[in-house]
Structure 1
Amino acid sequence: MAVIIKVYGGFGNQLFCYACGYAVSKLNQVPLIIDTTQQDNDPSREVEIDKLNISYQQRITFKKSKNLFGRVILNRFRLRKYIGWNTMSIVEKKPYSFDKFVFNIGNRNVYLTGYWQSYKYFDEIRDDLLDLFSPTYTVSKDMLNLKKQVLNCNSVAVHIRRGDYVQIGCAVNMNYYDQAIEIILKKIENPIFYIFSDDMNFAKQYFKKFKGIECVLIQYASKNKTLDDFFLMASCKNQIIANSSYSWWAAYLNKNIEKIIICPQLDFWKDDFYPGRWTEIVM
């Protein structure tokens, strides 16, 4: 028996996939196999969790055929050959919701497809994830210097995602950040806001309206900027996250016992999606 988890999407979604697969395999005491085929064939995004301290028994990957016959028949045949002809496929039924029956795999191999975006799938093994989701690559010196700063002050990571979110119309209204910063100022003495964004010019202009607060725009040289930013964000003592699985995970891996995490409650990002101890702002 084995649990085979499809790992795909952006970095945050890759973490959700792996975490669920790992939890199901550990509970059932069976090996974990990851399938990164889709991601390995996507030139726009790479498999980034392989730079972390993750464990698995086997990794499935193959070059997909791009012609019509290959897409319709051959790729499916190849996948079945790798995962086993009798393997049961379980597809996520409802996004952002917990399905406890995923853990009831019985006496068989299972192939899990979905993002599995609920903390309830893996909250019991969070301590494992704190170790598994640690870097195995060489972290940049600039990041390490900034990490020392955030660990020695009342640091608040603020993630403002723009870029593709603005283009497709799902960027969070900035009123959310107004409310979140107001909450932080009431609860934390002398906070320092560390700003993470893919549009620093926008973020810089936004924070100009706040008088008397200290802000640091996160900009430095790194060969692994996406991951360095992620681990720096997770090292901050508190977080104001975006509607992003990337900053969701940075907040979830925050080791500060007294942390304050503020998150946007959307129509679909609520209930099983956020841990109950987080502060949700209704959008």
Structure 2
Amino acid sequence: MDIVLIFNGLGNQMSQYAFFLSKKKHIKKCRYLYFTSSCSHNGSELDKLFHIKFPRTLLNRFLYKVYSLYDGIPKLRKFFHLIGIKCIRENKKYTYERNMLLKHTKWGITFYVGGWHSEKYFSGCEKDIKETFKFDVENEDETFRHLAKIVSSNTNSVSVHVRRGDYLKSSPSDYYQFAGVATEEYYQQAFQKIESIIDDPTYFVFSDDIAWCQKHFEDKRCYYVDINKGEKSWRDMYLMSLCHHHINANSTFSWWGAWLCRYNDMITICPEEFIKGVNIKDVYPATWIRLKSK
């Protein structure tokens, strides 16, 4: 049995579930498992936003316990391997490996642990994935729905995602390795690139540090979005997806905001790197424009 683990924040959970959907087309005996103790930020969001449920069956409770022991007590791993329980981890450079979709467990249990942040894993499943990741905004407040209309009606709207808070923390933060990629110089280059291609853009800025953005983007026509906090932070991703063009951070959150965009002629700009100093080639789609910070 093959088990794809779902963990970390919303962007990661979406990539992992998309990987599961694609893998299941090849391997029928494939399941997903919320490892909720590692669902950071706002917990397991796929169920809350897309009605993707974690069945609380005896089997799933057993699988959860098995992986908890496997992950938490390294000394037990030799024993687990002997009885056919193992773990396959994604390579550290997030390089696409097609055999990950085709591998299957003839006997025992294999847990697949990784981010799976390459659209190459989703090839042939794009329509299913976009149908799965549809946000329900009908019951959201009037202020938010009005903003969504403003974004949708602006033909030159550009989302700008700036992630600073957790990226600026030093070790042992899980995210410090992502710092120093989407720098101020990167954003200035991205603005220049957008303005060389389209006329009169309106920037919609999404950030956990709006004050920093206001200070550094003061010469741009920006709409600073600051109404989506905590459990409502997913609404930033939805609004990003409504924008015509995108300037992304090295973040799976804005990755999905751009990927879910409905415009075929969209321009998406992203940092050349995903992790500082690591050559990662498969995270960003080939059509996106990659910029290297000076």
Aligned 8 A contact 1:53 1:132 in 2: yes
The total of aligned residue pairs comes to 269
Q: What stretches of structure 2 of length at least 5 have no aligned partner?
A: 171-175
Instruction: Name which of 88, 94, 97 aligns with 2:95.
Output: 97
Higher mean C-alpha displacement, 250-259 vs 47-56 = 47-56
Higher mean C-alpha displacement, 224-233 vs 51-60 = 51-60
Q: Does 1:120 align with 2:127?
A: no
Q: CA deviation at 1:223?
A: 7.0
Structure 2-normalised TM-score? 0.80
What is the identity percentage for the equivalent residue pairs of Structure 1 and Structure 2?
A: 29
Instruction: Name which of 242, 262, 267 aligns with 1:260.
Output: 267
Q: Distance in 1 between matches of 2:158 and 2:3?
A: 37
SS of 1:34 mapped into structure 2: strand
SS of 2:195 mapped into structure 1: helix
Q: CA deviation at 1:271?
A: 1.7
Structure 1-normalised TM-score? 0.82
Q: Distance in 2 between matches of 1:178 and 1:117?
A: 26
Q: Distance in 2 between matches of 1:258 and 1:279?
A: 13
Change (3 A) 1:139 1:128: farther
Q: Distance in 2 between matches of 1:129 and 1:104?
A: 19
SS of 2:282 mapped into structure 1: coil
Aligned pairs for 1:135-214 (under 5 A) are 135-136=135-136, 138-153=139-154, 154-168=156-170, 170-171=179-180, 172-208=182-218, 210=219, 213-214=220-221
Aligned 8 A contact 2:93 2:279 in 1: no
**2:113 counterpart letter in structure 1:** T
Aligned pairs for 1:11-90 (under 5 A) are 11-28=10-27, 30=28, 32-37=30-35, 39-40=36-37, 45-53=42-50, 55=52, 58=55, 60-61=60-61, 71-72=72-73, 86=84, 89-90=87-88
Q: Distance in 2 between matches of 1:27 and 1:166?
A: 40
Considering only aligned residues, what root-mean-square deviation do their CA atoms show, in Å? 3.2
Q: Which residue of structure 1 lines up, in the alignment, with residue 173 of structure 2?
A: none
Q: CA deviation at 1:46?
A: 0.4
Q: Distance in 1 between matches of 2:237 and 2:134?
A: 11
Regions of 4+ moved over 6 Å: 62-65, 73-76
Change (3 A) 1:201 1:124: same
Q: Does 1:220 align with 2:227?
A: yes
Q: What stretches of structure 1 of length at least 5 have no aligned partner?
A: none
